[in-house]
Chains A and B, each alone.
Chain A
Amino acid sequence: DILMTQTPLSLSVTPGQPASMSCKSSQSLLHSDGKTYLCWYLQRPGQSPQLLICEVSRRFSGVPDRFSGSGSGTDFTLKISRVEAEDVGVYYCMQGIQIPLTFGGGTRVEIK
């Protein structure tokens, strides 16, 4: 199974400041079709997860452009350019290249 490792475990951010988190996979997520199968989700407190980004950097419909994804191969980053109160929650990365699909352990973002 592909192991997904997220760091840091938690982030405390002042509103309006940037935030960045990392996701590393134990194997390359680059498929022979040229796509890299890495998605990011946000789970707000008490809610179901919601899709933010897939294929490393493609924002899902309605996701604010303050969220951006980058990376390649086995190393990926999610950045929030200016954190807002509604960004609080746990962020998960997930690999979609191999069954079983696997999630990282999550990075919790809180507001200072």
Chain B
Amino acid sequence: QIQLVQSGAEVKRPGASVKVSCKTSGYIFSRYGIGWMRQAPGRGLEWMGWISSYNGNTEYAKWLQGRVTITSDTSTSTAYMELRSLKSDDTAIYYCARAPVFDSWGQGTTVVVSS
């Protein structure tokens, strides 16, 4: 069955970077993209960006102001999301999901940004 397994929780200081991984299995990785969303405490879902696992093309939400990079490794069927210059507002659960319709989701990775 299709599975997306994300890396574990992180605690970071303001200004630091975080890199979350999303290891997939159960389907041909290169045939689907991976999208990244986040959910701040008590809030709704925000789309951050996505990557085509076929050609590596990416698109990002402009509100992230160039702080995010999404990559993928086809040899391990794993996608990554790196967020830089962390602020307390970046405290959230980060989700990966199989694109384009997000029909399978990872379990979420909690990232806490605190001094």
* Chain A contacts to B: CB under 8 angstroms: 39, 41, 43, 48-51, 54, 60, 90, 92, 94, 96, 99-106
Contact = CB atoms under 8 A, between A and B. Distances in A.
A48 B105 contact: yes
B interface, size bucket: 20 to 34
A51 B101 contact: yes
A35 to B, nearest CB: 11
Contacts of B63: 100
Interface of B: 35, 44-47, 59, 61-63, 95, 97, 100-108
B26 to A, nearest CB: 14
A49 B100 contact: no
B102 A41 contact: yes
Contacts of B59: 99
A33 to B, nearest CB: 13
A96 B44 contact: no
